[in-house]
Structure 1
Amino acid sequence: MQDAYSNRTNSTEVKSVTVNITPSEVLKKGDGIIFLETSDRLQPPPLVLCALESAARVYKDRPVAFFMKGLNDTNIEKMVKKHFSVLSTLKNIYFFPLRFEEVFTGTPLHSWYIKLDVQKQNFWLHVSADGCRLALIWTYGGIYMDTDFITMRPIPIQNFLSSEHPQQSSNGIFGFSSHHNFTQECLEDFVQKYDSSLWGQQGPRLFTRILKTFCDIPVFNGTDDVTCANITLFNPQRFYPISYPAWRQYYQVWDKLTTFSDSYGLHLWNYMNSEKLTMVPGSNTLAEHLYKEYCPSIYAAILNATNKH
């Protein structure tokens, strides 16, 4: 389905993106939105494209950078035109090859990475993503988002974490100024307590244990956020109003749709989606309504491809 709609749009407007521009140039203001793909996948599913489009539309004046391990200097222009042409009218999206050693250079993770036998690491796709997101936000500043977030409204805080559960932090979405002391301490702890056999050790567990060194994490009162030192910890309602056990609700028809007025974005729990449920035009599911409103170009392309089959 992906090729069916990605190639049926005008690709003449796709810019040469990263061929003649570097991440440092694009992200130098510290206000970028950063996404990652740590596998070699070059043909992203519609949810990834929706995540990119929704972020680019909400943050019109900020760069949206997608770092992809499968891209390289010789294939980048061809691959962007082939798989991302539907996003060609959004001029603030940039694509970059993801090179681990370059990302880790100058950070506490570099010495750890060059000594590492990648083949012996458990959960390497996730561990490498945990390391890259930290290193990039520490280096450049900005907001990191997993590729299964649909952005709805701008986040009004610069230095923030988000909670899925009370008194715990996720690492699926966070934002900091460059070289912030929180990300610095996370990078150092990442190396000191590295254990690839423990799920989340370098991810949510890392963020939560470092946050606890800043303060006794306050308890949420209703839908209020809490503050820990100079960091805002967002209430689960901001990004996780549908919790992971209920993830299928995104692909169901609701009797009455909610506006998610307390949320800045929604996490669709792609990791949980072993059934490979997708947004289907005409299904009247919550996912369809979200695509229509927040990533209309992707929605139109999927609808067009569906009608032609």
Structure 2
Amino acid sequence: MVGLYKKSENVVSCMIKMLLSPKTNIRLPSTLRSIGTVGLFLLGCSLAAFLVFVRTHPWTQNFYVQKEMEREILPRFDRSTCCVSVDRPEDICGRPNCTSSCLEKDRVTAALENDQVKFCSDEKEKAFFLETSGTGSLNFRQACSVESLALHNPNLTVNVLFLDAPIISSATALSKLKEKYSNIRLVSIRLDEYVAGTPLEHWYHCTKWRKGPYHVSHLSDGLRFMTLQKYGGYYFDLDVIVVQPVTYYRNFVGAAADGEYVASGVIHADRGNEVINLAVKEFVSNYRSHIWAHNGPHLLLRVLKNWCEVENLQSMNYVSCRGFNILPKSSFQPVHYSNTKEFFVQRLANKTLENPTWLNTNVVGVHTFNNLSKDHPIFKNSTQIYTWLAKTHCPVIFSVAPNVF
């Protein structure tokens, strides 16, 4: 195709040169002769601009895949402006002059549940990742986290939810994940449809949460609680590398590395679990936009203090928390967030065959704290701990990643 464009461009260039040459005697139609040399020059420029457009427009596989995904996503329905009641013409936020009945929403929601997000009907246990950037893809580090979970837990259905974005399934990382792992599902969802009918719906449409400095992080906080409330299962942040099976553990949250708080980057809850129900209610009723941890890890600690009827994390256990577990900090945060540089230090050659001292049998996953570590490069041909973790626990992604990622 590109070769054809080049040939066409050469032909047009030659024609323009011939038409502008005073030595050329060509019988042109009277219309073309009447526009003169300047007119012919402008016509040639127009043709050249058209060829440049054709050559630079993204006529690639990714472009066609994206367009196909856009067609597959359900038609948009503006839930925020529909009439919630037949008796009163008000939308979900209580504003007058709503546009149409929210009853029409039922059809779209049913289609979403039946065709795109069959989480409840899956026989396998479910796990969820949330991609909130809107890119429709994963970088190699995120893909490594997804592979590590699927690799060590073949009986889990690992769902990666892409919010408000068509999935670029031809991207290297995503195509390899789908090619190698039958238990990975990539799902594109629309947020206004996903939160419809949930406790988060009014918060999502009617509050000023988008004005806060941590609004993306807080959206992720709310959606992880809501997802587990709707479907049950495991939630994982996209910067956790799983190093052994996780399905032995149920109805839990892990302690943070400081030992004082819980970490909301990994959670499991059966569908209908009361701790998650309380977390969703607390998120909506006590939301604070200006405090980063208020609606995530601090929220869970507030809920657990009430649920377990104790005042500190050390006193929480399976009995006091009525069947909900607080796993030790070594389970998912064996390295403190202030020590993330340890993942990138070059080790001595004679130490590369040894596990790091903190990586013992109690470690289920390693939180790599992407916000703090994203600017530190990973070199494939290095002795970095991160390199060793990726090579061991996400071998497919590691094999296709660039030399520095």
Fold-level similarity (TM above 0.5): yes
Query: 1:234 is matched with which residue?
Result: 327
Q: CA deviation at 1:45?
A: 2.1
Query: 2:57 is matched with which residue?
Result: none
Distance 1:187 1:55, change over 3 A: same
Unaligned runs of at least 5 residues, structure 2 = 1-60, 62-71, 74-113
Q: CA deviation at 1:219?
A: 5.6
What is the rounded CA distance, in whole Å, between the counterparts of 1:25 and 1:257 in structure 2? 37
Equivalent runs, 1:73-222 vs 2, <5 Å: 76=167, 79-83=168-172, 84-87=174-177, 88-155=179-246, 156-164=248-256, 165-215=258-308, 216=310, 220=314
Which one has the bigger helix percentage? 2
Single out whichever of 126-135 and 109-118 deviates more from structure 2: 109-118
Q: CA deviation at 1:288?
A: 1.1
Normalised to the residue count of structure 1, the TM-score between the two structures is 0.83
What is the rounded CA distance, in whole Å, between the counterparts of 1:243 and 1:288 in structure 2? 19
- Cα deviation, 1:104-157, whole Å, max 9, x if unaligned, reads 223211122121245423311101101111111110000000000001112212
Contact 1:103 1:132 in 2 (8 A): no
2:394 counterpart (277, 283, 295): 295
Query: 1:261 is matched with which residue?
Result: 361
SS in structure 1 at match of 2:403:
helix
- CA-atom RMSD in angstroms: 2.4
Distance 1:277 1:306, change over 3 A: same
SS in structure 2 at match of 1:245:
helix
Distance 1:127 1:98, change over 3 A: farther
Query: 1:10 is matched with which residue?
Result: none
Query: 2:161 is matched with which residue?
Result: 67
What is the rounded CA distance, in whole Å, between the counterparts of 1:249 and 1:36 in structure 2? 26
Write the letter of the residue equivalent to 2:125.
Answer: D
What is the rounded CA distance, in whole Å, between the counterparts of 1:219 and 1:179 in structure 2? 23
1:278 counterpart (366, 369, 377): 377
Larger radius of gyration: 2
Query: 1:13 is matched with which residue?
Result: none
Normalised to the residue count of structure 2, the TM-score between the two structures is 0.64
SS in structure 1 at match of 2:399:
helix
Greater RCO structure (CA 8 Å; 6+ sep): 1
